[in-house]
Chains A and B, each alone.
Chain A
């Protein structure tokens, strides 16, 4: 039997499969045209700098940070209540325990709590739109929130972003750090989204769409969506013999 405490930091990392990640230059996503590097990225040796990174535990959280649907005073945000529930694993499907997950999103009218979001849509004083969770020993996490609205992208010919949630994960090292977005199943805007479709691989793209799952919801209270995340890296193969 492998002792988790001794082997869990002995991890192997590979380069990302290129088709599973969006290229920096994605012309339909217009601002990438002047923000994507022209030169290719250089190889980086895998050193302690890359195989270490900031670690978090449940102790880093303040109570109820997983619940975005009420403000600090307990006042309810406006919108359709939903649970987002899932597991974070490594590339071998092993639980990624004690991983910090940050969630942020627009309100039910598709407006962000942000100075630069000046669109003519209502703000919600009870909805900041940010929460945090740390996975348990099974890699499990859960958020309570409201479904975000779609919003139009300015000067884009009436292109609307589909409802989506932003997720930020740290994993066990600098190598596993990633930020992504996840989408709602069956939304007609998904098919038209330049950011989702920046991911070339069909399977990788589909894995960014949540699964409707009443089991993880709350009976007669909140809809349930399941979203699993795979972080880069896996436990190194133990030496045999």
Chain B
């Protein structure tokens, strides 16, 4: 019976009351290596809002994404299945930041390419988002998709979200800026962001 011994993963606990500033480095919210990364540089920004409608400060947001060619900087995205997707030495794909006193955050990154999904499917360009905050007992997970992408319609993760809520995972084009995508995260209630199982 011990051939399949498996230990349950350790329990998560809240990041609160305070994440330590010293663990964040300058530039953690800029994924582009000072603009050297290949691809279209974009700003992803927004606000985190709680169930009372108020902005939430000190939320630790982390993003993980493929590069402009849709390749993850990780050995599990191996050359054998990479096709034409090549690594970019100036793009690691990970960033993080804390929301400010107004609950606002900002990342500078590259618009990711489409990446392989299950089987022969492809996933629409997207960014994985982890959310840690005081009052969140453990991580919340969501995804940001991009406006105007035909591939959104067939994306396997987006398709699992009820149609009326899908648009909440698609960022908005910011007024007056071609390269800014706005993505607000509503933890609870009206306009609640769809979250995925962690």
Query: Is A80 interfacial (CB 8 A cutoff)?
Result: no
Query: Is B9 interfacial (CB 8 A cutoff)?
Result: yes
B160 touches A16 (CB 8 A): no
B20 touches A91 (CB 8 A): no
A195 touches B14 (CB 8 A): yes
Supposing A42-B160, A52-B77, A195-B137 touch, asked if A116 and B18 sit within 8 A by C-beta, the answer is yes
B195 touches A31 (CB 8 A): no
Please measure, in the bound complex, the distance between the C-alpha atom of A231 and the C-alpha atom of B7, giving whole angstroms: 9
Chain A contact residues (Cβ within 8 angstroms of B): what range? 35 or more
A34 touches B13 (CB 8 A): no
A195 touches B51 (CB 8 A): no
Residue of B9, B50, B74, B126 near A231 (CB, 8 A) is B9
Most chain B Cβ neighbours within 10 Å, of A116, A129, A172: A116
B135 touches A232 (CB 8 A): no
A44 touches B160 (CB 8 A): yes
Please choose the segment from B38-46, B103-111, B114-122, B174-182 that sits at the chain A interface, where 4 or more of its residues have CB less than 8 A away.
B114-122
Interface size of B by CB at 8 A reads 72
A234 touches B6 (CB 8 A): yes
Please measure, in the bound complex, the distance between the C-alpha atom of A104 and the C-alpha atom of B58, giving whole angstroms: 15
Query: Is A219 interfacial (CB 8 A cutoff)?
Result: no
Chain A positions within 8 Å of B117 at CB level = 45, 47-48
Supposing A22-B137, A52-B74, A195-B14 touch, asked if A42 and B195 sit within 8 A by C-beta, the answer is yes
Q: A31-B135, A52-B74 are in contact. List 10 more A-B contacts (CB 8 A).
A: A22-B12, A22-B137, A35-B135, A37-B192, A49-B128, A52-B73, A173-B76, A180-B12, A203-B8, A231-B9
A residues at B contact (CB < 8 Å) = 9-11, 15-17, 20-24, 26, 29, 31-39, 41-55, 89, 91-93, 102, 104, 112-114, 116-117, 128-130, 132, 166, 168, 172-174, 177-181, 195-196, 198-199, 201, 203-205, 207-208, 229-232, 234
